[in-house]
Structure 1
């Protein structure tokens, strides 16, 4: 009796790396290019996704200002890993849209992961991929542990915000391809700090999967120090 054919779900991954790194502080290198355990920040997560059998393609979205530098420094490793490059736009949503358009043969799902989150691991990716495959949309996130204060521009507390049910979004954020394409078509010109918020505007529920502390986003030099410690045991 012949065995049944197992359907494999494929994912494509967009890594936005076109930000200005203004909060990271001075220096010649933007945060995504700073060395972290022997390789640039962006390459940690790029390798993690590019070597997965369920990932069909990885696109790194870089600033047009960085194109010459990026190609000089990383063309070989991109060729080895099959990583594509796209140029960013005026806004984050423009950059993501450019990355989606650059995909040669996109999978059924598109995952968007901050290039400045080098601590992502296979267990977190497995969890959010599997959840998205069942619900159509899923993100990693962590419940907010501390007390939240809303503060005025004068530096005075306005109110204490209840933290029950409040989570901090992480990435990857993973969506059925047609769903994220529709969200970008309808709302891509509107302000949005993450991609899930665009899908939410469609009225489609987005599942939340617990992420991890080591999946922090590097924003400042202090974050880089923390990442060095958290990833010390990662080869």
Structure 2
């Protein structure tokens, strides 16, 4: 397989006290550099496209240059929505790319193993996403906040990235489904809406998204545990 990755880094971090969460230090290093480390250790990637915004593109370019990745890297500006940003990144991939990985840069604790599992599963299923079980009880409510139903927890999972898709399926989905459709919250939803089957694979509880300041403290704790584990096994 020939796989390229679109790294989505164009968000505005509106819930992170106006700080760009991708540049906030985690254990002394900008959060995005932990993702770049994972990518550098992932075999089988042919190229990388990073979707940025006008404010963070130079800082991210600097971190990419310092990472000395062995694959070609392209930076492009994102759109008004996440879906539009991903679409922009996909358009910058080389025509030879057969499988497209999509990952949120705001998930800095991703591992090379998860990238590899997503790619391998995509060669079998065509469209895959990692998921984790939902542990809370989920309620469906109406606009006034009244409970309409308690959803069956054993049938619910939380979607993560990296998601991986056959390039031809993804392009066909873009042709069939408007990107401004409210149901398109991730590319798996885009493929679902276009009629393609999407297979789940096990994700990781550590692969959470940085959304609020509390998540930063949790991410640092996980990184410290990982570093301690490496020291113990050395």
Q: TM-score, normalised by structure 2?
A: 0.87
Q: What's the offset of the Cα at 1:167?
A: 0.7
Matched, 1:23 2:23: no
Matched, 1:77 2:62: no
Q: What's the offset of the Cα at 1:156?
A: 4.3
Supply the distance in 2 between the matched residues of 1:80 and 1:138 (Cα, whole angstroms).
25
Query: 2:57 matched to which residue of 1?
Result: 67
Counterpart of 1:38 (choices 28, 42, 62) is 28
Query: 1:181 matched to which residue of 2?
Result: 171
CA RMSD of aligned residues (A): 2.0
Supply the distance in 2 between the matched residues of 1:16 and 1:50 (Cα, whole angstroms).
17
How many residue pairs were aligned?
A: 224
Partner-residue secondary structure (3-state), 2:162: strand
Contact 2:42 2:113 in 1 (8 A): no
Change (3 A) 1:205 1:75: closer
Q: What's the offset of the Cα at 1:68?
A: 3.9
Structure 1 gaps, min length 5: 1-8
Structure 2 gaps, min length 5: 228-234
Superposition pairs for residues 1-235 of structure 1, below 5 Å?
9-26=1-18, 29-71=19-61, 73-74=62-63, 76-77=65-66, 80-81=69-70, 82-104=72-94, 106-191=96-181, 192-234=184-226
Q: What's the offset of the Cα at 1:188?
A: 4.3
Contact 1:128 1:139 in 2 (8 A): yes
Contact 1:110 1:176 in 2 (8 A): yes
Supply the distance in 2 between the matched residues of 1:171 and 1:154 (Cα, whole angstroms).
32
Query: 1:4 matched to which residue of 2?
Result: none
Change (3 A) 1:39 1:84: farther
